């Protein structure tokens, strides 16, 4: 009990401490009711949480309305932090990977939101890695060196290819949102040169996202079917993933193998670009599904294959994390830090 504060005042303060935080991707929207964490070990406590399949809903407003409708009637929230790929242009969040346009005004008007802050989705995930425990992650590349202070790279393929960098600092870390997924695709062997040549037939520019994402995996599969002179039998990224895992389609098996090799090469490049001494976290919706394939793939060899910089990369740990609530926690934390 707080001395000198009435019951109604305490209830008001508790209500003011609670707000909505959302992590919105092309496939899933993760919504949480959060409150500021008083002990400082993490920015917020997630009081209630739900993951929605975006394809099942007509808008983000409808998703948020459903979530709010399931809260206790005594809970009233008028603040919301949204993590999303893309950028804000006027009233809209602009992102080709989202299944619907997002109107900031519509969310505010429909839910009575007074403050709505928008942050990059991978910026939010990167912020949340400060509060991860090693037990929550899977080592992809382990090192014998003690953990180093320095930039932390967070990246991962999902509907798109996201990337951000956490820069440690006081009183709080800084997060650099990037568009690294739009870097030009760089093949590392003859097969990948053939794939790049095929992908470049109907587009002027081929980015890493065209290969390292859900749609990118499907692009790889279709390219390899053409190079194998066979008709593609699969039409969805999830089908390619499953066919590769159960080895029922050899073009799918090769597509996933190429995917992992390109990923290792790209992550190594980004580590060098940002000087990521603090390590790498791999996130995104695809990687947890293919964890065993990833660990057995050429990812490690391609990650280290950077000439004279191999010794540097051997000191950089790479870990796989589940996306989970981290985007929600990160969006809320960035909002509370006043950086949204």
The three state secondary structure string of 262-318 is HHHHHHHHHHHHHCCCCEEEECCCCHHHHHHHHHHCCHHHHHHCCHHHHHHHCCCCE
Whether residue 124 is contained in a domain is answered as no
Whether residue 135 is contained in a domain is answered as no
**With the C-alpha atoms ordered 303, 162, 64, 55, is the resulting torsion angle positive or negative?**
negative
Whether residue 14 is contained in a domain is answered as yes
Q: Does 82 share its domain with 171?
A: no
pLDDT of residue 2: 31
Whether residue 178 is contained in a domain is answered as yes
Q: Does 150 share its domain with 267?
A: yes
The yes-or-no verdict on residue 21 having pLDDT over 80 is yes
Whether residue 130 is contained in a domain is answered as no
Domain CATH number, residue 187: 3.40.367.20
**pLDDT tens-digit map of 117-130:** 988 888 999 999 98
Instruction: Give the global pTM.
Output: 0.86
Q: Does 179 share its domain with 246?
A: yes
Q: Does 238 share its domain with 275?
A: yes
Q: Does 173 share its domain with 285?
A: yes
Whether residue 136 is contained in a domain is answered as no
Which of 98-102, 125-129, 198-202: highest mean pLDDT?
198-202
Q: Write out the two tokens for 198.
A: 């095929």
Whether residue 264 is contained in a domain is answered as yes
Each as own residue / partner, the long-range contacts of residues 86-90 (CB below 8 Å, 24 or more positions apart, any chain) are: 87/120, 88/118
Q: Does 307 share its domain with 331?
A: no
pLDDT of residue 121: 87
Task: Give the residue, 1 or 277, on which the prediction is more confident.
Answer: 277
The DSSP letter of residue 107 is H
Whether residue 137 is contained in a domain is answered as no
Q: Does 296 share its domain with 227?
A: yes
Domain holding 259, by residue range, is 143-316
Q: Does 17 share its domain with 59?
A: yes
Q: Does 329 share its domain with 311?
A: no
Q: Write out the two tokens for 31.
A: 């919504």
The yes-or-no verdict on residue 167 having pLDDT over 80 is yes
Q: Provide the domain count of the chain.
A: 2
The DSSP letter of residue 142 is -
pLDDT of residue 119: 87
Q: Nearest-5° angle of CA 179, CA 83, CA 294?
A: 60
Q: Does 239 share its domain with 261?
A: yes
**Mean pLDDT over residues 308-315, rounded?**
95
Judge contact between 61 and 107, C-beta under 8 A.
yes
Q: Does 107 share its domain with 151?
A: no
Q: Does 288 share its domain with 167?
A: yes
């Amino acid at each position: 009990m707080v001395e000198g504060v009435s019951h109604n005042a305490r209830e008001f303060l508790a209500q003011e401490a609670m707000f909505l935080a959302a992590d919105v991707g092309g496939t899933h929207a993760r919504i949480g009711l959060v409150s500021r964490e008083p002990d400082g070990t993490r920015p917020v406590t997630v009081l209630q949480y739900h993951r929605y399949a975006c394809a099942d809903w007509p808008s983000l407003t409808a998703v948020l309305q459903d979530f709010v409708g399931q809260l206790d009637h005594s809970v009233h929230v008028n603040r919301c932090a949204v993590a999303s790929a893309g950028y804000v242009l006027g009233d809209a969040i602009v992102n080709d990977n989202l299944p619907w346009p997002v109107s900031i005004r519509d969310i505010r008007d429909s839910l009575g939101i007074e403050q709505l802050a928008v942050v990059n989705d991978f910026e939010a995930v990167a912020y949340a890695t400060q509060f991860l425990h090693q037990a929550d992650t899977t080592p992809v590349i382990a090192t014998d060196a003690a953990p180093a202070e320095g930039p932390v790279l967070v990246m991962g393929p999902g509907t798109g290819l996201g990337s951000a960098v956490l820069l440690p600092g006081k009183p709080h870390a800084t997060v650099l949102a990037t568009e690294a997924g739009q870097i030009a695709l760089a093949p590392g062997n003859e097969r990948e040169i053939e794939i790049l040549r095929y992908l470049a037939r109907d587009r002027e520019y081929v980015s890493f996202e065209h290969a390292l994402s859900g749609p990118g995996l499907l692009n790889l599969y279709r390219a390899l079917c053409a190079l194998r002179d066979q008709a593609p039998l699969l039409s969805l990224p999830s089908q390619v993933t499953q066919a590769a895992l159960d080895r029922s389609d050899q073009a799918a098996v090769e597509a996933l193998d190429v995917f992992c090799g390109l990923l290792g090469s790209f992550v190594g490049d980004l580590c060098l670009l940002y000087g990521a001494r603090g390590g790498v976290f791999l996130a995104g919706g695809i990687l947890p599904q293919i964890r065993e394939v990833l660990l057995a793939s050429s990812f490690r060899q391609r990650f280290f294959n950077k000439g004279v910089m191999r010794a540097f990369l051997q000191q950089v740990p790479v870990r796989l994390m589940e996306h989970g609530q981290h985007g929600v926690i990160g969006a809320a934390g960035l909002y509370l830090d006043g950086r949204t």
